[in-house]
Chains A and B, each alone.
Chain A
């Protein structure tokens, strides 16, 4: 580890010939543990221990009464998990609906916020424009504000007679009733071609208890407004990552390609974009990890409504535990979500480790904007 190579030579040369109290390093064993003790206690007590407790609860039918760690609580084994995947019923329907909603959410949020972040970074990085610092701050500002406060603003913007619909009205479009509209966007598109209800082939028989037609709904209109909000708040953070990478692109490369007669588009496509590939990997994987965690916005704006089309696994686990008092099922949903996110994280770390080589260790300190 880099630390050792840093400290060892210094200590060796600076160690005094006379050792008192067991030497200058002698009490470091104790001091080291004392220094980390508060963090170990807090993270152990409020992070690791709770995860183990929740793992146990996910195997029980605890309803929130008394302690879940007494003999009175029914042990149900893997039932809470199998109800999510194997048994036909409301639990599986809701869970799979939440998964479907989140998949569409991820499928739109991640590509759009990545493209937008890159676009904004390119504009802000343009040396010919003045006032870039101001605009950089403006694009980044939504990322640092409270998700709840921003959700309140977007509730107003997307209200039935709100700013967005007014704006659409100026363009001659009648806006939808955003938060009351549970129609899927793909269904609406198909409807435009005259396909108003499920064709016989799609009306049933899809995997995990939802019909193919339900799986293919697309995000609902209500979900679209949450998607807009999230893209708007997180693209600024990712723009900063692109900006940092762009500033590392060697000028000489660009000059050389200009001399070779490359057009701007060619320079972007064949010089800049390949150099940004590591950053794009990073932004995409951080986006994937973050967007499976969307919770605050759903809680404030829609509570899973209308018609469960803004339900996400994170919100469903909360609702199952704290509203329906089925803590076992709620915890089981949490663990499935945990698994999804951890797999994505491991995938990302593997990718980055392969890429970074000697520089590894830098990428993981980045903070994932929640709900992104």
Chain B
């Protein structure tokens, strides 16, 4: 491991070309490739096996090559399961939740960063406290409140509780604090109201933060599982993760049906994967916000 801690030091540079350095580099690549396989090969296996017949998947699970190649698994996903319905529900929930979070979180983030109103400090402390509440202990509480409000087993129950999140408010507040005030001041002096200033002056400048928040919200609500577990039980309201979990727990009937399950999981992964490839640096920023701005 110590071999790999090389830092860009001029002193070390002379040694870059020696035989020892070559051995080190080779070792480094070996480690990279090994872990690259560990992290990516499961996805390769998933893709390969989703295109196999069931006996082939059972006999050669390690091989990425289907023999024979078949789309039967995928055909059955669309013909034999409620996958299209789950997909539609997931899209609807994700779009609504993402729009809601981006709008409401930036409103609140802006107010907490810029507007001076009584109770602001207390509110911000509350936001920080809320961020510490672990999601899994909210399963029963969420069910109770949805049940009490008559929102259980409805689209509203799936969407409304997720429309704002404390972490998003925090990200937006931090961002707005880093924007120079002079622009807003100018707009205000020109007579623009608070909302007008926010909407047409500040928000357009917040593009990087908005993209980060959009991506985090999309990813979060697309993958959201526990909330759908306690907010709906009607199969017509299942989102993709809920439907997938249902498939796995044996609603399929006979056989393991791995090609079908792997294919469905693959399709559920694709949107986030595409987003990841395109907006990678925003994902990194979202996961690790602030760490690089030491």
Contacts and interface: CB of A to CB of B under 8 A. Distances in A.
B187 to A, nearest CB: 11
Contact of A264 (B6, B128, B147, B248): B6
Contacts of B163: 38, 42
Nearest to B166: A43
B67 interface: no
A148 B225 contact: yes
A240 B2 contact: no
Nearest to A16: B189
Interface in A326-353: 327, 330-331, 334-335, 337-338, 341-342, 345, 349
B114 A161 contact: no
Interface in A314-372: 314, 317-318, 321-322, 327, 330-331, 334-335, 337-338, 341-342, 345, 349, 359, 362-367, 370
A345 B99 CA distance: 30
Interface in A1-50: 1-3, 6-7, 10-11, 14, 16, 24-25, 27-33, 35-36, 38-40, 42-43, 45-50
A264 to B, nearest CB: 4
A1 B293 CA distance: 19
B170 interface: yes
Contact of B265 (A153, A245, A295): A153
Interface stretch (A71-79, A119-127, A187-195, A199-207): A119-127
Contacts of B134: 289, 292-293, 337-338, 341
A171 interface: no
B118 interface: yes
Contacts of A150: 265
A135 B144 contact: no
A198 interface: no
B66 interface: no
Contact of B4 (A126, A144, A269, A293): A126
Contacts of A314: 136-137, 139
B251 interface: no
B137 A335 contact: yes
Interface of A is mostly: helix
A11 B185 CA distance: 7
Interface string B19-50: 00100110011011001101110110110010
Interface string B215-250: 010010011011001100000000011001100110
Q: Among the interface residues A29, A38, A46, which one has the most CB atoms of the partner chain B within 10 A?
A: A46
B108 interface: yes
Contact of A157 (B32, B42, B273): B42
B79 interface: no
B227 to A, nearest CB: 10
Interface of B is mostly: helix
A336 to B, nearest CB: 9
A129 B25 contact: yes
Given A129-B32, A237-B287, A32 B256 contact: no
A281 interface: no
Q: What are the 4 tightest A-B residue pairs by CB atom distance, in nearest-first order?
A: A32-B117, A50-B141, A35-B111, A244-B291
Interface of B: 1-12, 16, 21, 24-25, 28-29, 31-32, 35-36, 38-40, 42-43, 45-46, 49, 57-59, 61-62, 104-105, 107-108, 110-121, 123-124, 128, 130-145, 147-149, 160-161, 163-164, 166-167, 169-171, 174, 177, 181-182, 185, 188-189, 193-195, 198, 216, 219, 222-223, 225-226, 229-230, 240-241, 244-245, 248-249, 256, 258, 261-262, 264-266, 268-269, 272-273, 276, 280, 283-284, 286-294
13 contacts: A28-B117, A146-B269, A159-B256, A240-B284, A255-B11, A258-B9, A264-B5, A314-B136, A317-B139, A322-B230, A327-B140, A335-B137, A366-B287
